[in-house]
Amino acid sequence: MRSIEDVASDLGLEWKDLEPYGRDKAKIPLDSFPGSGSESGNSGKLIVVTAITPTPAGEGKSTTAVGLTQGLGLIGKRVALTIRQPSLGPVFGMKGGGTGGGKSVVQPANDINLHFTGDFHAMETAHNFLAAMADNAVRAGHLAAEDITWRRVTDAEDRALRSITQGLGGRMDGPLRQTGFDISAASEIMAILALATSYADLRERLGDIVIGWTKEKTPVQAREIGAVGAMMALLKDALKPNLCQTTEGQPAIVHMGPFGNIAHGCSSIVADLLATSAVEYTITEAGFGADLGFEKLMDIKVRQGGPKPAAAVVVCTVRGLKWHGGVEMKEMSSPNVEAVVGGAANLRHAIGVVKKFGLPVVVAINRFPDDSSEEVAAARRIAEESGAMAAVEAKGFAEGGAGMTELAEAVVAAAEGGADVKLLYEDGDSTFDKVDRLAKGLYNAGEVTWGPMTRTTTRRFEANDWHFPICMAKTHLSVSTDPKLRGAPTGHTLHVREVKVSAGARQFIVLAGNIVTLPGLPSKPNAFDIDLNDAGEVVGLLGT
């Protein structure tokens, strides 16, 4: 690998600008940015990598994002990658590591997938410290226990903590109340760190966090219980993005990790601002499919100050299309052009979602060894007929950047054509209209139903002069809210179960269907394969 000092030079940074963490990673203070913060005057083009709806067959979105970065480097472009840090929940659960695969990996992969530079620990500590301060406010008589809405978080997929009763030991052990934990990737503080553009912005957003409500239905915010200063101290380094590199030495900025199904699913704004101010092309990845992470990148991240993308890459696989066409995993290796054609409705839908936001689309067909040439040709034809500017095979896993140069050339051509960026709704639209626009315009729902008190809660939020974008929390396994519905189902019902406010992250969290905010471990978690060998090396971490 290149020295981290050498990698930093590609971003116009010198060694004195960095805070090294060992020999292969470093933090970048915000005042080291070329034209730092939100004043950066971006000149580079941002390319967002999204995908069809995920399947058990795997799409390889992270691998494609890393490989595209490498491919652009090989064709002579100044390029950087901005990507999320993987959460320990999926790393030890079902998904495994989240730093790419094969010859297209962000390094040091084991560190990134584990403790890294401590950002997640700082974020989780600040979140749970705020919970402790809220409980302490009850003890001091400033707030009733039943009025607290702020839950704690954990980075472990521990389903036993979804719903708990705390304070069973009496008053000395804290207030007795029903509460629970969420996964740390769903923390509002995680979202805030991914959206804040300066320490002043971070302080304001932390102060805006709603921890509960008074009997009069007015919000109680973090600044009112004196928690902001301590959280700022805990998060002083977490706001600084982390510099690493791809397997082939291109800069990779790894920062924050909100999930795309229960949070907004994008790496940080400050990482994008840094990269786009320093290089020609910045590749970033949005969580899960186009209906989730990509939509949120546009309607939340861009809306709140993130750079506007110049183009999008939609990743698909022949295997994924066959899954959406009704093929089961045990039959995946058998050629089936009809299933590819049948599952292409999901690819057409993903392309259509991106085009709604005014971006040119390139489809990356992530190639697997057992894909037949006829299946690949069918996928390419469908993509181009559906409005993609090009559909190109991606071979980053097997070949690294050398297998991604054709895709890189196609992306450059698409980005040079320009984008007519538009958002799905206006800030001032009612929350009900925003949800309806998402449900019917992006998820193909026939109707939206609202659960008990959800409309009342929404109106109370709007009465506080909050006009926030929607962060839809729904299954990532379907365009609909039913994970069993493959392809691009239409006419289904989107049921709103709960509405929450993240006033610091400036978004409404709308929980639809049976989505849970603390996943549980599968029967055979990836943790079974993870170990430390006799040479002191972590093994099994990157398996999926």
Helix (H) / strand (E) element for 282: namely: strand 281-285
Q: Please report where in the chains the tokens 């979202």 appear, as a residue.
A: 191
Beta strands 281-285 and 309-316 are unpaired
Residues of the chain with CATH 3.40.50.300: 4-28+38-115+241-416
Mean confidence (pLDDT) of the chain? 95
Q: What is the pLDDT of residue 171?
A: 72
Give residue-wise pLDDT tens across range 132-150: 999 999 988 888 999 999 9
% of the chain residues with pLDDT over 70: 98
pLDDT at 34 over 80: no
96 or 79, which is more confident: 79
pLDDT at 239 over 80: yes
Residues of the chain with CATH 3.10.410.10: 431-512
Structure tokens at 386: 């559906």
Across the range 9-38, mean pLDDT stands at 88
pLDDT at 393 over 90: yes
Across the range 412-423, mean pLDDT stands at 95
Give residue-wise pLDDT tens across range 430-468: 999 999 999 999 999 999 999 999 999 999 999 999 999
For the chain, give the number of residues: 544
Q: What is the pLDDT of residue 175?
A: 86
pLDDT at 40 over 60: no
Across the range 223-242, mean pLDDT stands at 98
pLDDT at 418 over 90: no
Structure tokens at 480: 């609909």
Q: What is the pLDDT of residue 544?
A: 42
pLDDT at 37 over 60: no
Contact between 303 and 314 under an 8 Å Cβ cutoff? The reply is no
Across the range 322-336, mean pLDDT stands at 95
Q: What is the pLDDT of residue 36?
A: 44
Q: What is the pLDDT of residue 35?
A: 61
pLDDT at 534 over 60: yes
CATH of 4-28+38-115+241-416 given 3.40.50.300, 3.90.1150.10, 3.30.70.3040, 2.30.42.10: 3.40.50.300
- Residue 43 pLDDT grade (very low, low, confident, very high; cuts 50, 70, 90): confident
- Written in H, E and C, the secondary structure of 251-281 is EEEECCCCCCCCCCCECCHHHHHHHHHHCCE
pLDDT at 543 over 60: no
- Residue 97 pLDDT grade (very low, low, confident, very high; cuts 50, 70, 90): confident
Distance (Å, whole) CA 69 – CA 251: 9
For residue 523, give Cα distances in angstroms to 93, 158, 312, 466. Answer: 9, 13, 36, 42
Amino acid sitting at position 281? Y
- 403 DSSP assignment: G
Give residue-wise pLDDT tens across range 263-321: 999 999 999 999 999 999 999 999 999 999 999 999 999 999 999 999 999 999 999 99
User: What is the CATH code of the structural domain delimited by 431-512?
Assistant: 3.10.410.10
* Phi, psi dihedral angles at 45 (to 5 degrees): -95, 135
Class of domain 119-234: alpha beta
% of the chain residues with pLDDT over 90: 91
Beta strands 219-221 and 281-285 are unpaired
Q: What is the pLDDT of residue 489?
A: 97
Q: What is the pLDDT of residue 52?
A: 98
Residues of the chain with CATH 3.30.1510.10: 119-234
Q: What is the pLDDT of residue 110?
A: 94
Distance (Å, whole) CA 457 – CA 452: 9
For residue 178, give Cα distances in angstroms to 146, 181, 263, 415. Answer: 8, 11, 23, 51
- CA-based angle 438:442:445, to the nearest 5? 80
Across the range 11-18, mean pLDDT stands at 95
